[in-house]
Amino acid sequence: MEFVEPFVKILLINLILSGDNAVVIAMASRNLPSNLKNKAIVWGTVGAVVFRILFTVIVMYLLKLPYIHLIGGILLLVVAYKLLVDEEADESQIKVGNSLKEAIVIIIFADMLMSLDNVLGIVAVSNNNMMLVILGIILSIPIMLFASQFILRIMETYSFVVYIGSALLAWTAGEMLVKEPFIQRSLSSNTSMEIVLLIGLIVLVLSIGGIQRRYR
């Protein structure tokens, strides 16, 4: 269970957060001929994953510094909130590559800018298990290539899926927050208080985000 639980969380986080990345991949290569389009998607995704691995290693190192768990947890809470309230990306504003090289570069750099949420989520649930981190990043490849559009359609059709995803991210953010030493000392290994904190964060994010979502 120590392996299965974080593995399932990593899978779900990848499913929830890879949708926008898939849109960028599709749009960046849309002007290319079919044979070049496939090459741009494959090589762009491979390059994006390589940089994502480097990014993840850097984040894992930074987590050894003071207050980084706190900052990472807050950033994940923002991601959970934005999942509820953000509008879909405007495809007309996504840059399109007019050559194989340009499309690959667009895919790689766009993914670097958009993958912080994925990286934070994977690192937060991996408990510094490099095998889990690598597995999570490898899983992101087929998800970005094949599953993301399907997941996006489900999230657009069934709004409760978005709330479940936001709740998962809020819980993951809470788990990262409680790893911050001064918060750990405050909780004093009180499991019930930790659970109350995690549930409270979920309720807070879903309440504020839900109100904003209905308003918009």
The CA distances from residue 112 to 93, 105, 178, 187, in Å, are: 18, 11, 27, 36
Segment holding 73, helix H or strand E:
helix 68-85
Rounded to whole angstroms, what are the CA distances from 110 to 44, 58, 63, 82, 167?
10, 18, 24, 18, 26
Residues whose CB is less than 8 angstroms from the CB of residue 129 and which lie 6 or more positions away in sequence, other chains included: 3, 6
- pLDDT tens by residue, 64-121: 788 888 888 898 888 888 888 875 554 444 566 678 888 788 778 777 766 777 788 8
CA dist., res. 154 & res. 41, Å (int) = 23
List of residues 6+ apart from 40 with CB closer than 8 A:
28, 29, 32, 97, 100, 103, 104, 107
The string of pLDDT tens digits covering residues 164-202 is: 888 888 888 888 888 888 888 887 767 788 888 889 999
**The residue count for the chain:** 216
- How many CB atoms within 10 Å of residue 26? 17
pLDDT recorded at residue 49 = 79
pTM of this structure = 0.72
